[in-house]
Amino acid sequence: MDQKARQDTLPWAKPFSIDLLLKVLKVTFLHPFVAWMIPLCMRAQAMPWDHEAITWAVDYASLITLLFFLAKLNRQIAYSKSRKVDLSEEVIVITGGASGLGLLVAEVYGMRGATVAVLDVRDLESGEARGVSYYKCDVGNREEVARVAIEIERDLGAPTIIINNAAIVNGKALLDLSLDEIEQNFKVNLLGHFYTLKAFLPGLIRTGHGTVVTMSSVLGHLGAAQLSDYSASKAGVNALHHSLTAELKAYPDIKTVLVEPGQLSTPLFSGTVTPNSFFAPVLEPVDVAKEIIATIDKGSSAVLAMPLYARWVGWMGVFPVGVQAIARRVSGIDRAMKTFKGRSNGGEEEETEKAEKEEEKEEEKEEGKEEGKKRRGGGEEKEEEESLI
């Protein structure tokens, strides 16, 4: 399904979920401004300050305000000062940007005047995108990455923003995976990050500023059935991000962003059924793209875990293993891949589809030729009959 068709099928309203509920609460009862309006409205009705209701309302508003500023202080301590981002001077490299989430981010930045390079083994899903240059590249092949890095720097300039987004999913049980599939999974999902960082990170260090976005997954914390290779590669990506962040402390204007989404509504996980749409809603790529773009634009580092359960999944390890087992059973995480149909980004399935379509066209042509022969044959017989008469 192309991008336009995909957009046409999007729901007009977000389905009700715990994330939507929290979003509403954050701009109402959990926001300091609204919290302080409650005691002020009570006071406007001539209620005395020492009234129990006002006392409770003031205490509540004070707590919300304290938590609000502590959250800001926490982000400041964790990620320090933001860097200035001028899109007209940014060169953005996006791996796996020919479709899905990567393509959305590429198109938005291309339209906003940034210079964007997309690396993928597949052709751009939308054909040509404004401001986006396409480079055919298998990120799991270090020679190809090194070659394309030279081409990009020559054509577009030194990259300043790296978005490591390329990934493949096999969706098979461990014993059903071939060794080639396992190796390809780690080459694309994990080693591809190392190859692109080795190729482009020196340029960021030379310029002294930039942003590295690492696309991971909540499955890096939660191994699930039929996802042993994928989960292991994403766990490695998480570790890579944290080590890289520590190593880049000497360069305060080089920011790192880790993205850990839950299930995305993309072809990569096509057919997968969400265990619980209220607590584990399926994310639309456009919503994740908005968060990534907003974080890059602010010039800050961040860990973007979404939906809500993705932010708290790390606490699973604190509970007794029996409780963990019950939680897995109730959530249905190990049954989610039973209906999996998705595709990998390796290009093999796309080539198969193309070959099948070409075969169908050839068959149609042959059928057309045979029908034409029959028509011509019928015409000749009629002419012979007429001549005999």
Ordered per-residue pLDDT tens for the chain, 389 residues = 444 444 455 555 667 888 899 999 999 999 999 999 999 999 999 899 889 999 999 999 999 999 999 999 999 899 888 999 999 999 999 999 998 899 999 999 999 999 999 999 988 876 777 889 999 999 999 999 999 999 999 999 999 999 999 999 999 999 999 999 999 999 999 999 999 999 999 999 999 999 999 999 999 998 899 999 999 999 999 999 999 999 999 999 999 999 999 988 888 888 887 777 888 888 999 999 999 999 999 999 999 999 998 988 888 888 899 988 888 888 888 888 888 887 644 444 444 444 445 555 566 666 665 665 555 555 555 454 444 44
CA atoms of 97 and 162, how far apart (whole Å) = 12
Together in a domain, 51 and 137: no
Together in a domain, 240 and 158: yes
CA atoms of 333 and 330, how far apart (whole Å) = 8
- Please state the separation of Cα 127 from the chain's center in Å: 20
> In the prediction, which pLDDT does 355 show?
46
Query: Is the residue at 163 inside a domain?
Result: yes
Query: Is the residue at 303 inside a domain?
Result: yes
> In the prediction, which pLDDT does 345 show?
43
Together in a domain, 42 and 182: no
What is the extent of the structural domain holding 274? 87-339
Domain endpoint, select from 297, 322, 339 = 339
CA atoms of 112 and 133, how far apart (whole Å) = 14
Q: What are phi and psi of 317, to 5 degrees?
A: -65, -15
DSSP E strands in 122-180: the ranges are 132-136, 161-164
Query: Is the residue at 27 inside a domain?
Result: yes
Together in a domain, 94 and 75: no
> In the prediction, which pLDDT does 1 show?
46
Cα angle vertex 140, ends 175, 143, to 5°?
A: 140
CATH at residue 296: 3.40.50.720
Together in a domain, 94 and 41: no
Instruction: Please count the other Cβ atoms lying within 10 Å of the Cβ belonging to residue 147.
Output: 14
Q: Which of 79, 134, 230, 309 is catalytic?
A: 230
| Structural domain count of the chain | 2
Together in a domain, 138 and 18: no
Together in a domain, 301 and 201: yes
CA atoms of 269 and 265, how far apart (whole Å) = 7
> In the prediction, which pLDDT does 13 show?
62
Please classify residue 301 by burial: count the beta carbons closer than 10 Å to its beta carbon, then call 0-12 exposed, 13-18 middle and 19+ buried: buried
Query: Is the residue at 353 inside a domain?
Result: no
> In the prediction, which pLDDT does 87 show?
93
Query: Is the residue at 223 inside a domain?
Result: yes
For residue 194, the surrounding DSSP H or E stretch is helix 192-207
> In the prediction, which pLDDT does 375 show?
57
Whether this model's pTM surpasses 0.85: no
230 catalytic? Reply is yes
Domain endpoint, select from 31, 51, 79 = 79
Together in a domain, 68 and 103: no
